[in-house]
Amino acid sequence: MIVTLVTRSAKIFTLVVSTTVTAIAALSWVLPPHVPGFPVAVEVLQDEDVSRLITALQSAEAEDRAMAACRIGRLRNRDVGAARDGLLALLGDDAAVEGKLCRDYENRRRGGETGSTPGREAAIALEDVGASAIEPLVGVLQSGSGAARQNAALALGLIEDEQAIDALAAALSDELDAVRARAAWSLGMIEDAAAVEPLGGALDDRSAEVREQVAWGLGMLESSLAVPGLIGALEDEVAEVREQAAWALGMIEDSSAVEALSEALEDDDAGVRKHALWALMRCVDADDAELDYAALAATLRKALGRGGEAG
């Protein structure tokens, strides 16, 4: 992040170096929020009996069903298509499986998820089935059980195909918070501008988890059309939503967010202040003739000076 600040402009660099070394170092603790969802890469299996694994999807043991789905996913496009229907049928299986199973989920802020279900592992494996799974996944998203709908949304996000946008946008109105949150995540994963409007309309969702996920999704889209709504989200009653909104504004890098982000540096929550600072430095347009450098310098010195206390 320091490199980003230095290369943006000599003027901005001057503002930064005018602070103490300790204050500049405080920027090192700014990491963009990362919500659950990204599977960590795993080793690809060399040989696997796909028919045996498909049969194991119907095992009486939840761990066996989950592991079979996991191992099918590890085939990575090799014979995975043959398992499509079996994986789709497993999406509603919400039997808990303890421990880190197959593809762990990276989550810097919350320390990682340690449990799974057969349905979730099936959703992950369906990523490699690709486009041929979209239509049946949309059907599950529209009429499956709660667990199945959530996992269908997950699979559609992992496939990252714009054909799923309309169905995922409709799922933002699902009765279950978990389904709406996953749909928002998946729209962000697809990274298509068509998702900006439906996501923006969900920033006032009744669930803080959903609002946080919506803000993340808008950040992934990196569209200036999302800026007004995200600025409004900086006033959300829940700190995690405000923090995610600040991160999203930083991803978009729109100078119209500078004033709101400057105000967010006074937020009561340390996480919000950290990400507002990170976002502010990305949004500043050094060529803006109307930019008040003196005021900005004072704001940055004050914010950076809180680094030790906020960290």
Task: Give yes or no: residues 156 and 262 share one domain.
Answer: no
Q: How many CB atoms lie within 10 A of CB 125?
A: 31
54 with 190, same domain: the answer is yes
* 114, 170: one domain: yes
Q: Would you say residue 155 lies in a domain?
A: yes
With a cut of 60, say whether residue 166 has pLDDT above it. yes
Mean pLDDT of 141-168: 97
Same domain, 140 and 196: yes
Residue 216 counted as domain residue: no
Same domain, residue pair 169 and 283: no
Does 115 share its domain with 247?
Answer: no
Q: What is the pLDDT of residue 48?
A: 53
**Higher pLDDT residue, 13 or 206?**
206
Question: pLDDT at residue 180 above 50?
Answer: yes
CATH code at 100?
1.25.10.10
Question: Same domain, yes or no, for 182 and 228?
Answer: no
| Residue pair 66/101 in contact by the 8 Å Cβ criterion | yes
Q: What is the pLDDT of residue 34?
A: 40
Same domain, 61 and 18: no
Q: Tell me if 46 is assigned to some domain.
A: yes
Residue 122: pLDDT over 80: yes
- 144 pLDDT more than 80: yes
Q: Is residue 215 part of a domain?
A: no
The two structure tokens encoding residue 115 = 């449990």
Residue type, 234: L
Identify whether residues 94 and 20 lie together within a single domain.
Answer: no
Calculated CA dihedral for residues 104, 107, 110, 111, nearest 10 degrees: 50
The answer to whether residues 162 and 136 belong to one domain is yes
Which domain range does residue 88 map to?
A: 35-201
Tell me, yes or no, whether 79 lies in a domain: yes
More confident residue, 309 or 246: 246
Look at the alpha carbons of 209, 214, 215, 217 in this order and tell me if their dihedral is positive or negative: positive
Domain final residue, candidates 169, 201, 233:
201
- Per the CB < 8 A criterion, the answer to whether 81 and 110 are in contact is no
pTM: 0.79
Instruction: Copy the structure tokens of residue 287.
Output: 């060529």
**pLDDT band for position 106 (50/70/90)?**
very low
Average pLDDT over residues 92-104: 78
Q: Do 185 and 253 fall within a single domain? A: no
| Per-residue exposure over 46-85, b if at least 16 CB sit within 10 Å of its own CB, e if not | eeeebeebbebbeeeebbebbbbbbbbbbbeeeebeebbe
The reply to whether 106 falls in a domain is: yes
Ranking 92-101, 117-126, 149-158, 247-256 by mean pLDDT, the lowest is 92-101
Are 247 and 1 in contact by the 8 Å Cβ rule? The answer is: no
Q: Encode pLDDT of 77-88 as tens digits.
A: 667 888 999 999
- Cβ atoms of residues 205 and 179 within 8 Å: no
Q: Which long-range contacts (CB under 8 A, 24 or more apart) does 53-59 make?
A: 53/83, 54/82, 54/83, 54/86, 57/83, 57/86, 57/87, 57/89, 57/90, 57/118, 57/122, 58/86
- Domains identified in the chain, total number: 2
pLDDT number for residue 114: 62
Of 32, 5, 297, which Cα lies nearest the Cα of 188? 32
For residue 251, being part of any structural domain is answered with yes
Domain boundary, last residue among 201, 231, 255? 201
Tell me which of 201, 234, 250 is where a domain ends. 201
What's the CA gap between 168 and 131, in Å, rounded?
15
Average confidence (pLDDT) over 94-114: 58
Is 214 inside any structural domain?
no
What is the pLDDT, as a whole number, of residue 7? 36
The string of pLDDT tens digits covering residues 23-74 is: 333 443 343 444 433 333 333 444 457 889 999 999 999 999 999 998 888 8
pLDDT in tens, 266-288: 999 999 999 999 999 899 875 66
If asked whether residues 47 and 194 sit together in one domain, one would say yes
Q: What is the rounded distance in angstroms from the CA atom of residue 44 to the CA atom of residue 74?
A: 5
Residues 6+ apart with CB under 8 A from 165: 187, 190, 192, 194, 195
